[in-house]
Every structure is written in C-alpha cells, then in structure tokens.
Amino acid sequence: AISTKTPWVLDPVGCGSSPYRLDSCRAVCEKKPTVVRGNASEIITLAGALLATEDARVSGKGVDSTDSTLDALKIAVNLSKHLQNVVVVTGEVDVVTDGKIVVTISNGIPEITKVTAIGCSLSTLTAA
C-alpha cells in the first residue's frame, strides 16, 4: 500500500491489552496510515503511546471500550494532527477528524453492539 500510495487503515484492535500490541501499533503508525479507526479506548491508548498529553492514557478492557467517543474527541484531534491523517472514533456517537474539522455522527442503534466484528467491517469499508 505504501509503495503504490494506496490509502490504508490502521485498526488498533485491543492495543491497550498488551505491551506487544501497543508497541506494534506504535511501529505501524510510523508508516503513516491514511486513517486510524478505533473505539474510544483504543484511540486514547494509542495517543498515549505516541503523544505526551495529560488526557491520553492506557484505557479499555481487551478490545472493549471503557470510554465514550466524546471523551476521546480532543485526543483524536491531537492524534490526527500528529499523524497528519484522519482519525475515526466509533461508538455511540462516531467522531471523524482530520485535525482541523470534526464531524460527529449520531445515528447508530443499540443492537449494533451485540454484533461481533462490526468495527472491523467498518475499517474495511473505510479502506475501500
């Protein structure tokens, strides 16, 4: 993807669940993903590994988010500026930012949380 300049997405699944996952995500970020898409806890944790900010911290429970997308909004903007890409935080309210503009989307349904791999499917669609 990098050599052909094909847009690609980093989905930092459960990056806070182990030092290995977090280190791997940090290394992949050096390759400049076009988009980073994760739940609030994943974005907060990834930002904590890449940025020296008070708000960023290791967060989450495995692949599950323990934070709201609105908790991650400011962090997502800072992460987007740092990586010079688009950051998408998914949850009850989705947040999309390029570091300058922030768009929130509030049209989800509660039942979607019962379906496994919806976030991974969204990452695939985002890459397309």
| In the chain, % of residues over pLDDT 90 | 57
pLDDT tens-place string over residues 70-83: 889 999 999 999 99
Q: Which domains does the chain have, with CATH numbers?
A: 9-123 (3.40.1190.20)
pTM: predicted TM-score of the whole model, two decimal places? 0.86
pLDDT tens-place string over residues 34-53: 999 999 999 999 999 999 76
Mean pLDDT for the stretch of residues 102-124: 85
CA distance 123 to 74: 21
